[in-house]
């Protein structure tokens, strides 16, 4: 505490505490998106019975001036205010609270006046307060002078004088010019990051660009990817994510199905980045040139998509870094460089980068240069490979440096690791995060996990991007559950979160595993592949339908509005989403068993949707297109996964009409 006796004025007696949103005492920013309303709340109080006023102040960090909005008392000394966010990037906000002396005076004055007490001194006190506020006024000083003139003119007319002092005109004028003597504020402003809406609402589609062609055993080109854009757009995806597109090393190159003995024409793993033709800022010549890439970025934009690049900070033994900066790697006692390992797995074609290098500043700057290189080529989104194997403080620095001039850039954290590490990366600046959804299959674990993600303080800084599969992970439920499991898991991913993605081949229900592993056999990580995008058994129409439903329903575009409801059978998960004004209400019921049909009663509170008990409302099931009326929040459902694993209802409240006069 500072030396109070050294202050020239008495310290403020106001207390401000329990401010929300606040991440780790203000160490990290809360996250919102353009168009959101930031709601800030706090406990604000002081000794005695004085009235108080409080203001939420907010500014972009590049601006010197604060914007402010007055806070309102909610209940029990809890105050809150909402502020509309219109600018991208880093912001900060604070709270200033002070004794509202005129409101305190007005409350006491009116009580004494109504009780018939002598209020002559109270009038003099009120005039002093008015003069103090007049001194603060500029544009409205004439208005103050007029009121003061009327008060002086009515000295011998007490009733008129009292009405002036108690009137709305003076009260509103004083509200705009309250002295802030005795004000208290936060010790330091709290940070806020405002992202693009696509940080919260997006549909991702992952591809290996080299597998977009039609010639077996040959790499596709960026032009082949351009030819695929209409089909990907038609399915409803707006982020097209590329695995690494850089030159691939020759040393210890992997062959088909991860063999250590590749054929001469095997292309290698894209994550073994770098050879004599360049590293992380270069493009594999088989895909095309930089000019071809920029044409692709522009073509994607015309199809209302953006390209997301994989940022994988590792290098093949042939990467230029290995010659120019060997100290950026882990050098072993025999002078060799350590390969990447995750025992018992070993990646002989990859060197992990050593962030404990004595030359760490140059390494950090090089990574910043690489990211900005791609940003300058039109890339606004990066999926970061294994960020949890690099220092969190590095990511906080890198993302902050990029956002300083490019606040629209989005970073997705691909960290399947310990929960606290995943959360720390989100706090450090990642706009989106992979989650454990990939392995959450049963009702209670799904419900518990998504309550944590969307209905606790975690939602202030971590947006879960749900992937039911990745190029590294073919979950057991997809291997064994077949097409019904693919549809069921897609419904969950697309509706539990506002941002989700699939790895290409999902729409084909591709599920041939490596025996005993959650990995794809004949994975395109190790080989060129040509896909039959129309092969029998595909669920392209289902993917297209769900993405269309997401586009048409704003409730599904919000992240933290998820609410769970009860279903009698534990094989069913029931949940809903609604917009704040209840203009769009969605209810989802899912049979989590891909093998057997089940039936149940499910229950939801109609009053949460603005309905009265017994009131009839219209329901449209969006998968089948059927419409009907319900009048209660308990309903029966039978779901056979060989028909449909899930249903999604749109609930419409009908306007209430008590009386219509049809007379002429």
Supply angle C-alpha 213, 217, 223, rounded to 5.
25
Residue 96 CA neighbour count, 13 Å, CB half: 15
Characterise 217 by phi-psi region: left (phi > 0), alpha (psi -120 to 50), beta (else).
Answer: left
Q: Residue 580: count other Cβ atoms within 10 Å of its Cβ.
A: 11
In DSSP terms, which residues pair with 503 in a beta bridge?
A: 206
CB 523 within 8 A of CB 553: no
Question: DSSP code of 541?
Answer: H
Which two tokens mark 367? 């990574």
The Cα 355–Cα 253 span in angstroms is: 25
Residue 148 CA neighbour count, 13 Å, CB half: 18
Q: For the residues of 297-322, what is the DSSP string, one character each? A: HHHHHHTT-EEEEEE--EE-TTSHHH
The Cα 249–Cα 186 span in angstroms is: 54
Length of the chain counted residue by residue: 664
CB 272 within 8 A of CB 249: yes
Q: At what angle do helices 168-175 and 141-153 cross, to 10 degrees?
A: 140
Tell me the C-alpha to C-alpha distance, in Å, between residue 148 and each of 103, 133, 598: 18, 12, 77
Catalytic annotation present for 281: no
Tell me the C-alpha to C-alpha distance, in Å, between residue 386 and each of 161, 390, 413, 473: 73, 8, 7, 14
Tell me the backbone φ, ψ of residue 139, rounded to 5 degrees: -65, -25
Which residue, among 410, 405, 394, 244, has the nearest Cα to 311 in the 3D structure? 244
Active-site residue identified among 284, 385, 558, 584: 385
The Cα 276–Cα 656 span in angstroms is: 73
The Cα 305–Cα 592 span in angstroms is: 32
Structure-token match 């006023």, residue found: 53
Dihedral of CA atoms 82, 88, 92, 93 in degrees, nearest 10, equals: -10
CB 648 within 8 A of CB 586: yes
Which residues have CB under 8 Å from 126's CB, separation 6+? 102, 105, 106, 109, 165
Three-state DSSP state, 38: strand
Active-site residue identified among 414, 507, 510, 593: 414
Q: For the residues of 139-185, what is the DSSP string, one character each? A: TTHHHHHHHHHHHHHTTT-HHHHHHHHHSHHHHHHHHTT---TT-EE
Catalytic annotation present for 224: no
Annotated catalytic residues are 385, 414
């Amino acid at each position: 505490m500072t030396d109070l006796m050294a202050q020239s004025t008495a310290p403020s007696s106001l207390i401000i505490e329990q401010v929300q949103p606040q991440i780790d005492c203000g160490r990290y920013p809360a996250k919102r998106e353009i168009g959101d309303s930031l709601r800030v709340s706090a406990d604000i109080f002081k000794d005695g019975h004085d009235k108080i006023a409080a203001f939420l102040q907010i500014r972009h960090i590049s601006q010197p001036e604060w914007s402010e909005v007055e806070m309102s008392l909610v209940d029990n000394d809890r105050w809150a205010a909402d502020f509309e966010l219109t600018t991208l990037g880093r912001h900060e906000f604070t709270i200033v609270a002070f004794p509202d002396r005129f409101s305190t005076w007005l409350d006491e004055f009116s009580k004494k006046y109504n009780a018939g007490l002598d209020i002559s001194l109270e009038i003099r006190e009120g005039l002093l307060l008015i003069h103090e506020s007049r001194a603060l006024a500029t544009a409205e000083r004439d208005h103050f002078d007029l009121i003061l003139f009327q008060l002086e003119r009515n000295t011998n007319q007490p009733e008129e004088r009292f009405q002036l002092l108690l009137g709305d005109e003076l009260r509103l004028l004083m509200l705009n010019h309250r002295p802030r003597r005795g004000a208290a504020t936060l010790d330091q402003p709290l940070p806020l990051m405002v992202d693009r809406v696509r940080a919260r609402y997006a549909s991702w589609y992952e591809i290996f660009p080299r597998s977009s062609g039609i010639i077996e055993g040959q790499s596709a080109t960026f032009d082949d990817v351009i030819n695929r854009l209409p089909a990907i757009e038609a399915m409803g995806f707006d982020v097209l994510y590329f695995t690494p597109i850089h030159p691939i090393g020759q040393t210890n190159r992997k062959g088909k199905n991860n063999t250590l003995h590749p054929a001469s024409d095997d292309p290698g793993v894209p994550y073994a980045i770098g050879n004599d033709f360049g590293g992380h800022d270069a493009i594999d010549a088989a895909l095309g040139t930089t000019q071809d890439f920029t044409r692709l970025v522009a073509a994607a934009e015309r199809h209302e998509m953006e390209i997301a690049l994989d940022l994988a900070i590792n290098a093949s033994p042939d990467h230029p870094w290995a010659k120019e900066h060997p100290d950026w790697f882990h050098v072993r006692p025999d002078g060799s460089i350590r390969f990447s390992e995750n025992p018992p797995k070993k990646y002989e074609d990859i060197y992990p980068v050593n962030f404990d290098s004595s030359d760490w500043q140059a390494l950090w700057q090089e990574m910043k240069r690489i990211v900005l290189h791609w940003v300058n080529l039109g890339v606004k989104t990066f999926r970061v490979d294994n960020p949890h194997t690099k220092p969190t403080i590095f990511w906080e620095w890198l993302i902050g440096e990029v956002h300083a001039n490019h606040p629209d850039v989005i970073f997705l954290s691909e960290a399947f690791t310990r929960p606290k590490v995943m959360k720390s990366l989100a706090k450090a600046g990642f706009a989106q995060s992979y989650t454990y959804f990939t392995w959450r299959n049963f009702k209670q674990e799904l419900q518990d996990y998504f309550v944590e993600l969307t209905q606790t303080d975690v939602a202030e800084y971590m947006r879960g991007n749900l992937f039911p599969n990745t190029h590294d992970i073919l979950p057991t439920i997809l291997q064994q559950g077949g097409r019904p499991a693919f549809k069921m898991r897609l419904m969950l991913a697309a509706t539990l979160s506002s941002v989700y993605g699939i790895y290409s081949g999902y729409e084909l229900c591709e599920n041939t595993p490596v025996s005993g592993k959650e990995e794809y056999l004949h994975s395109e990580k190790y080989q060129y592949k040509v896909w039959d995008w129309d092969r029998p058994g595909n669920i392209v129409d289902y993917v297209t339908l769900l993405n269309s439903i997401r586009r048409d329903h704003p409730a599904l575009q919000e992240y933290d509005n998820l609410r769970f409801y009860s279903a009698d059978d534990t094989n069913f998960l029931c949940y809903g989403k609604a917009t704040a004004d209840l203009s769009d209400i969605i209810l989802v019921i899912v049979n989590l068993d891909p093998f057997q049909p089940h039936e149940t009663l499910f229950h939801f509170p109609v009053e949460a949707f603005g309905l009265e008990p017994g009131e009839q409302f219209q329901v449209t099931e969006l998968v089948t297109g059927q419409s009907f009326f319900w009048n209660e929040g308990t309903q029966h459902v039978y779901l056979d996964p060989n028909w449909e694993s899930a249903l999604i209802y749109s609930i419409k409240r009908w306007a209430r009409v008590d009386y219509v006069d049809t007379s002429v």
